[in-house]
Chains A and B, each alone.
Chain A
Amino acid sequence: MIFNLPFITVIIVMFFGFYAMVFRRNLIKVVIGLDLVESAVNLFLVSLGYVKGGVAPIYTSAPSTHMVLPTPQALTLTSIVIGVATTAMLLSFCMVIYKHYGTLDTRKVRRLEE
C-alpha cells in the first residue's frame, strides 16, 4: 500500500478525535470525538487483517484461497456494536443534562465540585 496510508489515516483520525474531546466545549462534540477515536481503532483493526489482493473470507464458491483475515473483521463488528451502545448512552446522558442544566457547555456543567 502507498506509504502505509491506512495507518497514517488511523493516526490522523485519532488525533482529531482526541482534539475534539479535549478542546471542544460542547458535550455532544465530546461524544463525536469519542466516536472518531473509535472509528480510528476500528480502521486499525480492519487494515491489520488486510491481505493485498485477497478476497472476502467466505469459503463456499470463493475464486481463490487467497483471503483477507476474518478475525479482525469479527472483532471490528463486535467493537462497532459496543460503540453504538456507548454512543447511545452518552447521547441520552447529554439529553438529561440539557434538561436539568439548560446547557451543554462543559464550562457550565460543573455542579459536582460544589
Chain B
Amino acid sequence: MNPWDLIMNNAPALAIAIPLLGAFVTPLINRAGRKAMLVWVIAVLAFTEFIALLLVYQVNTYGIQVYVFGANPHTLTVPPDSGGIPVRIIFTIDGMSAFTALISATLGLVVGIYSVGSEKFQTAQEKFFALLLLLVVGMMGMALTGDIFNFFVFLEINSLAAAALVSYHLNKGKAVEAAFKYAVVSSIGALMILFAIAILYGEYDALNMAMIAQRMYQTGFSTYDMIAMTLILVTLAMKCGAVPMHYWVPDGYGEAPGGTSAILVVASQASLYGLFRMSFTVFGLSANTSSLGWFMIILGLLSMFIGVTMAFLQHDIKRLMAYHAVSQTGYMLLGVGVGLATLGTAAFNQYGLYAMEGGIFHIINHALYKGLLFLTAGAIIYRVGTSDLNKMGGLAHSMKFTAVFFLIGAFAIAGIPPFNGFASKLMIYESVYQLNPFLAIVAAIVSMLTLASFLKVFHSAFLGPKIYDVKEVPKSMLFAMSILAFFIILFGIFPNIAIHYLVAPAAHALANPLGYITKVLGGGA
C-alpha cells in the first residue's frame, strides 16, 4: 500500500494520532534547540490541518465515514460474531464532525504560528506547545468520535490542557486562580457527563452513540433518559459558555496568554458541537425536539443579551472580548435551536434548515473573527504590557497593522458587510424572524450594541495622542492575524464557498440522525 492510500484510509485515526504523538515528542525535540522544536510543532499542526481538510473532502465526496479501531477492514462496524452490537471504538465522521475538526485544526495552526512570536520570552515554551497540541487532540477527538465514553475522555483532555494553558502566564497567581476555577468547573461537568454515561450504559448496554439512539428509539424515552439528557446538555451548555453558566468564561479567556484565548474559543465550540451532536443524533429521535429546541433558543437569547450588556461594564480588553464571546455563542444556539424546534415539521424545510445553516456558519465565522480579535488583544498586551483599556491610547500611530486587523474583526463581529459576520447574521435574522419576530429583533439589537462596544474599544485603545512609544509586533504574529483576516473577508464576499463545502453538509448531517445510525449499525459497507 502506498503512503497516499495509507493516509487516505486512516485519516480519522491520524487526525488524533499525529498531534498526540507530536505533543509528547515536543519536549524531546526541544533538547535539540528552540528552533527545531518550533519547526516540529508547526509541521505537526500543518499536517493535522491537512488531515482535517482531507476529512472534509472525504465526507463531501463519499458521505459519512466510519473508522473502527482494531477492526479489519476498518469499516467493519458490527463484527459478525458480536450479535449485532458495535463492540469496538468507532469514529463516525459526518459533515458536522468534519466541520468542527477543520475549525479546530485551523485555529490550532494559526495560534501555533502566533505563539512563536508572542511567547518568545517565556520559560518552558516546549510545555506550552505540547499543551497546545494536546488541546487540538481533545477538540479533534470530541469532533470525530462516535463513542460516548470516548467523548468523555476527549472532553477531559480538552479541559485539562485548556486549564493548564490558561495558567501558563501565572500573572502573580491571578491566571492560576482563573485556571483553578476553570478546571474545577469543567471537572465537575465532565463527572456529571460520566454519571449520565453510566445511566445510559446501564439502560441500553451500549456506549456507541448510534446504538444508544437506536435502542432509545425502540424502547421509548424514559425518565432515566431524561436525567441523563439533562446532565449532558447542561454540562455541555456550560462548557460552551452559555448564560447562566458563563461565569468561568471571562476569567478563563481573560487570563489566558495572547493566542490561547483564541483557541479556547474553539475549545468551547467543540463543546457546542457536543451539545448539537447529543441533542440531534443521540436524543433527537426519542425526545421532544420542540421543547429541546426552545431550551436552546432561550439559552441563546439570554447569552446574547446578558453577554453584550456585561461587556459594556468591562474595562479590561480581554474580559470585554470574553463577554462578547458569550454573546456570540447565543447566535449559534439561537440559529441551531430554531432548527431543532422545527425539526420534523413542515416549517423545517421552509426556514428551520436555513436557520441551522446560519447558526453553523456563525460558528466558523465566530472562530475566525473572535480569534482575530483575541490575537490583536494579545498583540496590544504584548507591546503595552497592560490589558486595562483606561491605560491604553494612541496605538494606531505605531501599530498600524494591528489596528487594521482589529477593525476588520470588530466590523465582522458587529455584522457589517462585506465581512463574514454579516453573512451568517443575515441568515439568522431572515430565518428566525419566521418563527417569532421577537427573536430576530433581539438578535439585531445585540448586534448594534456589539458594534457600539467595539467602537468604544477602538477609540480608547487605538485613537488619541501617542502615549506609548512601541513598535509593531513580530512578523509571525502579524502573519497569523493576516491568515484569519483573509478568511474573514473571503467568507464575507463569497459566503457560498463556506456554505457549499462546509456549512450545508454539516446542517444536513445534523438534521438526519437516521442516516448516521444506519451508517454505523448497517454493517458499514
Contacts and interface: CB of A to CB of B under 8 A. Distances in A.
Contacts of A45: 194, 198
A93 B194 CA distance: 24
B198 A41 contact: yes
B180 A112 contact: no
B260 to A, nearest CB: 16
A110 B187 CA distance: 20
A77 B164 CA distance: 23
Given A93-B183, A94-B180, A72 B201 contact: yes
Nearest to A34: B187
Given A93-B180, A97-B176, A112-B255, A48 B201 contact: yes
Contact of A96 (B160, B173, B207): B173
Contacts of A15: none
Interface residues of B, number: 32
Given A82-B153, A82-B156, A86-B160, A100 B180 contact: no
Interface in B137-163: 149, 153, 156, 160, 163
Contacts of B178: 112
B216 interface: no
B176 A37 contact: no
Given A34-B187, A86-B160, A112-B251, A97 B177 contact: yes
B31 interface: no
A109 interface: yes
Contacts, number: 84
A68 interface: no
Contact of B183 (A38, A90, A109): A90
Interface string A84-112: 01100110011011011100000001111
A75 B149 contact: yes
B347 to A, nearest CB: 40
B194 A100 contact: no
Contact of A90 (B153, B156, B180): B180
Contacts of A110: 177
B195 interface: yes
Contact of A38 (B172, B173, B191): B191
Interface string A23-49: 000010011001001100100110010
B278 to A, nearest CB: 18
Given A96-B173, A111-B173, A30 B149 contact: no
B24 to A, nearest CB: 14
11 contacts: A21-B188, A27-B180, A31-B184, A34-B191, A37-B191, A75-B197, A85-B156, A90-B184, A97-B176, A100-B173, A112-B177
Interface of A: 21, 27, 30-31, 34, 37-38, 41, 44-45, 48, 71-72, 75, 78-79, 82, 85-86, 89-90, 93-94, 96-97, 99-101, 109-112
